[in-house]
């Protein structure tokens, strides 16, 4: 299951959710301000990072600046506890599943969360010679089919 960690005022979070909705991608939304992160949440996120905490923690966050905290001096467990107690230090949105991670919203990179069925359609020749075969047409057909199947 795809999880998206957001805050309500984050414009990048709204863009990411809009993309997921437009592509009929099912996800679980986790508001960082109302749902307390768990160690399991952090472990799932960290498992998919390339550079660990460096990828997910914003050194420009207000609490880090005002508290003059050096996260490089913390142990892993101290840093996890700090993030759980201060989730606004995280870059947002964080979109993650068992194998993939995206931090922030990037229109090109978010394609990794495109449903497998849609990917197959994009790769295969799904259009007749008289049809439009652009991305929007294929996406429209895919969404029509998936909505029929959801009923």
Active site amino acids: 10
User: Do residues 95 and 18 make contact, with C-beta atoms less than 8 angstroms apart?
Assistant: no
Tell me which fold the domain 2-113 belongs to: Glutaredoxin (3.40.30)
Spatial CB neighbours of 35, under 8 Å, sequence gap ≥ 6: none
Cβ proximity of 126 and 138 under 8 Å = yes
Sign of the torsion formed by the C-alpha atoms of 64, 69, 71 and 72: positive
Q: Could you state, in order of their start, the residue ranges of all structural domains in the chain?
A: 2-113, 115-151
User: What is the per-residue pLDDT across 16-48, written as a single tens digit (0 to 9) for each?
Assistant: 999 999 888 999 999 999 999 999 999 999 999
pLDDT band at 137, cuts 50/70/90? confident
Beta bridge partners of 94: 5, 103
The model's pLDDT over 41-93, given as tens digits with 9 standing for 90+, comes to: 999 999 999 999 999 999 889 998 888 888 889 999 999 999 999 999 999 99
25 close to 114: Cβ distance less than 8 angstroms: yes
| Residues 55 and 90 sit within 8 Å (Cβ to Cβ) | no
């Amino acid at each position: 299951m795809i999880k998206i960690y957001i805050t309500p005022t984050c414009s990048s979070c709204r863009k990411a959710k809009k993309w997921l909705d437009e592509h009929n991608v099912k996800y679980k939304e986790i508001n960082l301000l109302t749902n307390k992160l768990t160690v399991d949440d952090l472990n799932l996120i960290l498992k998919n990072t390339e550079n660990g905490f460096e990828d997910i923690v914003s050194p420009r966050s207000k609490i880090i600046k005002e508290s003059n905290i050096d996260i490089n001096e913390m142990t892993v467990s101290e840093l996890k506890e700090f993030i759980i107690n201060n989730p606004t230090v995280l870059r947002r949105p964080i979109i993650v599943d068992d194998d993939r991670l995206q931090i922030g919203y990037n229109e090109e990179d978010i394609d990794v969360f495109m449903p497998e069925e849609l990917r197959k359609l994009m790769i295969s020749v799904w259009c007749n010679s008289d049809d439009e075969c652009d991305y929007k047409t294929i996406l429209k057909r895919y969404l029509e089919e998936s909505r029929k199947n959801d009923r």
